[in-house]
Each structure stands twice: as C-alpha cells, then as structure tokens.
Chains A and B, each alone.
Chain A
C-alpha cells in the first residue's frame, strides 16, 4: 500500500491554546481511515488541516509538515484553492447550496473548467450522481431545489458534489451525525463502494461506524494521537489503556 498523506510532527494552535500536539500519521491510498476520539480531542482540527480549511480561521497557526504525495501542502508551490480541488470535503451538516440539484453538482466542475461544453457537464453530473447512488432517486428532478431533499439525500448530493471535481482524497467530518440509521447505512455503503478509487478520511463519533467502514483507525485524545493501527486490532486488542477505556465506553 502506498502512502497518500504523511503528517510529521503537526502542531496546531488557536491563539495561545494548543489544539493538536505533535501528531505524526500516515494515511494510505484508496482506503478508509477513521479518526475517533471524544469531543474536543482535535480530530476535526486535524482533518481540516489536510485540505487547509483552517486557513480561513485567522487565529489558527500550524507547524510541522503535511505531505500529499510527498509534496508539502503548506509549501510555497501549493495553492490552497488547487489543493481543495484535489482534497474534497463533506461536512457534518448537509450543506447543499440553495440552488438546484444540477447546479449543486455542476458548480465544482464549472469553476475548475472540467467540462468544455454542456454535454460534458451533464455527463459529469450524471456520473457523480450515479457514483453517489442517487441517480435513480433524483434523475427526474435535477431542476428541483437541493434543499428540498431529505437529510440523507442532501448529504449524498454533497458527496456527489465532492466527487464531481474528481478529487484524490475525500475528507468526511462526521457525515452521518445528523442522519437517521437508514440514511447512515446508505452513506456507509456508498463509502465502501467509492473507497476503491478514493482515499477517504472520516471523523466519527460512532465507534460502530468506525469499526464497520474503516480499515485503519486513529484514536485521538486531548490533542494527541494515542493509538493508530488496523481497525480490527484497535477494536479487539488495543495496546493503550486509554483506547480500551474509550472503546468500552468508560469515558468520552
């Protein structure tokens, strides 16, 4: 397995407060990696470092190196706008644009110039919706407002929207926390399908979800990486006492 992301000694500060302390972590290609841990442990902060979404927050300072395909994403040659096209993101709350379903998915390809004409654009939209398993549900109402869909459908529109830009990595920040179990199951199924061709990093509060979908799991606690390894091992024979306490529900 080749390594997609390589984080080396990453520290993150919000003003004076340290949110992430000296984290080194390798994320492997075309595989689902789960980040778990109690609230405020820094797992979302770490995820947002991977596509430089923290740049928007002025008080946030990052030290250390994060390499994507052996290139420092905080280096001078990387433009965060380009980076975010390569590393897409799906958020906790479904956040489709208040536009039509078609416009939602066509927006990314349009601003990046991925389609040279309308036919190609339609093809990209249809392919993305198909990959997101949504095509049968929405193909007759692509011109309806995306905000009128159900929560689970909205979240899959957001995944389709991320796929439409053909990213290499998709970051998911608790993508199912606002959804019911059936919608959650659909999204997990979808993640499994697309993990063949995309590297996925998912932050989740549900340990069952981490156990179900991921190959590798990282356990964060108070800004530190406590344990990282194969999901099977983490959930059956954790090496660290804190990990054991957390997965057995003794805290967090």
Chain B
C-alpha cells in the first residue's frame, strides 16, 4: 500500500520536474527573442532629410545627347549635396562650423544622390531634384532617442551645436524617420545608414543551395550502400566509425580542408558561395548520413521482404519502396544539417568568406558573405547604429531557420505514410 503511494509520489515529482524544465527553456527562448527584438526593431527605420537640389543635367551629356556614366562618376556629388544642405542654414559660414554641419548627414549621401540621378529619367537641362537622403548614423540614433545627452560634450559624438541643428531640421519637418529600405536592398557598408542584409541573405542562400545539392545525394547514396550492399566486416566497421567521428569534428577543421583542397589544389575562387557550400556540405554530410541510415533502418523489414519476395533487386527495393518511405526522416536530418550549416562561421573563416563585401553576390563564384558572418562583423563595429542592425539581422537569421523548419514540417506531412 505504502509502496504504491510512494510510486505515485515519485511519478508526480517527475512530472513537475519535466514541466519546470520546459518552462525554463521557454522562458529563456522568450527572453532571447524579446531582447533581440527590442534592440533590433528600430533598425526598420532610418533618419532621412528632405532636400531640393538643382542639377544641371547638360554637363553629363555625351556628344550624341545620352547620359555619360563617366562624366556622372567624375562629378563632385558630395560638394553639391553639402552646398545644398548648407543653404538650409545660410548663417553658417565658418569653415569649422561647416565641417561640423556636414557631419550630421551621411557621408554617402553624395553617392546616393548620384544613384538617384542615374536611375531617374534623363533629359537635358536644369532639373530640380527633391530627394530624401540619409542622415549620419549619430543623427539617426539621436532621432531614435538612443543618444545619451548627459555625457559631457567633449566625449559625445554630437556636440551641442549639432544637436541644435538636428532639432531645427526636425522642427522644420525636413528630417524624420522613414522606412529603412536600404537595409533590405543593400550589401555591407562602412556607414551603418548604407549597410544592408541583402548581400548576406543572397550569399547564404547560394551557399546553402550548393550545400544541399552536394551533400544530400552523396549522403543518400552512401546510406543506401551502407544499409543494403556493404558486407559487414572490418572495412564497413571502419567506414562507420569514421562517419560518426566526422560528425564530431570541429567545424574549423573542415575550413582548413577546404582551404587546402578547394582553394590550393583545385584553385577555386576565394570567398565564393561555391566553395563555402562545398565545405559546409562536407561538414553536414555525416549528419545527413547518420539520419538517413536511421530512417532507412526504421522502415519495417516486411516491406523489404515483400519487394524482394516479388523478385525486385536490392536497388529496386531501395529506390521503389524503402527510400520513399524513408524520405520524411531523411528530410528531417537534412534540414537539421542545413540549419547547422546556416549558422556556421568558423569553416568560412578559412576560405575567405569572412570579408567585407559591398556588392550583392550575383553568381556562385562572386565574392560574398553569409548571415552569421555579417552579424559577427556588425556586432564588432564601433558605431551604435550597427548594434541595432545586427539585432535585426539575428531576427532575420532566426526567421530563416523557422522558415526552413516549416518547410521540413510541410514536406514531412506530404510524404508521411501510414501502414
């Protein structure tokens, strides 16, 4: 009697432990996501100022009257923007004050104006451009209320004068926070206001595409061979032990391998998604093999016997019956491997993907970076504005992972069969 009571008590206690541990895990996850969101949401907006700039388009004309990119590139756009911006504050004439004034607008605003002119419809003659150009990252942080004014003036990145100017701009409705389109359409930049995540997202996608294309077929073939054709013996045991070992090898070792094999021996380009994908593919290969073998083994032997008993060959049995049934498990393993590959930075360090890349990659061999590397580099930067951008990038990375898991769930549901 007392024994039964004791057993029930133990059971109840175990249940409490379980609920408690799940609660703790959920709380931690919530804390993480909430704190990142609170830090990152402000990166959705960026401080811009509105300015009207007269541009004499005739000076960019070629002899036959079309737009000359060369002349466009040679023009002093920064000077034009500064001059126009100065005209909002006509009483600032001293050289030193002017320098301070130009610090509150983005040092890339000249370049941005050039891009706008380049993309606008071209016609000869005077053109009055009314454009929104980004303020500097410090002004941006000030507008978002993330700037601490209590710090002594000489230690601040904005002095009292600059703050008054910004306040004037806001009061005149010239400066305000707008949706930060740049973040979603640009690659990395030294200036936070010109930096975007798109380069890293495209880089990650290209890399993962190579990874899955390389690792999945190899892993499935390897597991079919090991499960169906390999004779048990020393060699098979050796292969098996080594696959398990490979799954535990530190990822940076795969980077070294990639460096010496893909870059030095085969001479593939550095920083390329192709090489990154191959390295990450090698890294995830053992994970997918182990998952695939487990999944293949979990198919009831009766299905295999039924096919063999009908006179199907081993390969037909594997391809027609076992593999379709094992697909959900194989996919789950693949997605887990891909998720790990998506978050990996160490092996990419060795093949030059940890680099400052200002262009959105457009091929498998163009220099690119990936999302975790981008987050790492931004969080390493001094500018306060990069801090919120790395938080938003982390949210993006998490979103990417959730998206991948969602695909895995959908595919599982689609392929799952009951018997």
Interface set of A (CB-CB < 8 Å, partner B):
51, 53, 56, 58, 81-85, 88-91, 93, 95-98, 107-108, 111-112, 147, 158, 161-162, 165
Contacts and interface: CB of A to CB of B under 8 A. Distances in A.
B306 A97 contact: yes
B302 interface: yes
B417 interface: yes
B316 interface: yes
Interface of B: 231-232, 300, 302-313, 316, 320-321, 325, 417-419
B312 A81 contact: yes
A91 B306 contact: yes
Contact of B309 (A58, A91, A96): A91
27 contacts: A56-B304, A56-B308, A58-B231, A58-B232, A82-B311, A83-B311, A85-B310, A85-B311, A88-B309, A89-B305, A91-B302, A93-B302, A95-B300, A95-B306, A96-B306, A97-B306, A97-B321, A98-B417, A98-B418, A107-B312, A111-B311, A112-B311, A147-B418, A158-B306, A162-B310, A165-B310, A165-B311
Contact of A95 (B303, B311, B312, B418): B303
A107 B309 contact: no
Contacts, number: 67
Given A111-B316, A147-B419, A91 B308 contact: no
State the main secondary structure of chain B at its contact with A. Answer: helix
A208 to B, nearest CB: 26
Contact of B311 (A58, A84, A91): A84
A112 B316 CA distance: 11
A56 B300 CA distance: 15
B216 to A, nearest CB: 23
Given A58-B231, A95-B305, A97-B321, 20 more contacts: A53-B308, A53-B309, A56-B308, A58-B232, A83-B311, A84-B310, A88-B310, A89-B309, A90-B309, A91-B305, A91-B306, A96-B419, A98-B303, A98-B325, A111-B310, A111-B311, A111-B320, A112-B311, A161-B306, A162-B310
Nearest to A112: B311
B306 A81 contact: no
Contacts of B311: 81-85, 108, 111-112, 165
Contacts of B231: 58
Q: Which 10 A-B pairs have the closest CB atoms?
A: A85-B311, A89-B309, A95-B302, A84-B311, A98-B419, A98-B417, A108-B310, A95-B306, A147-B419, A81-B313
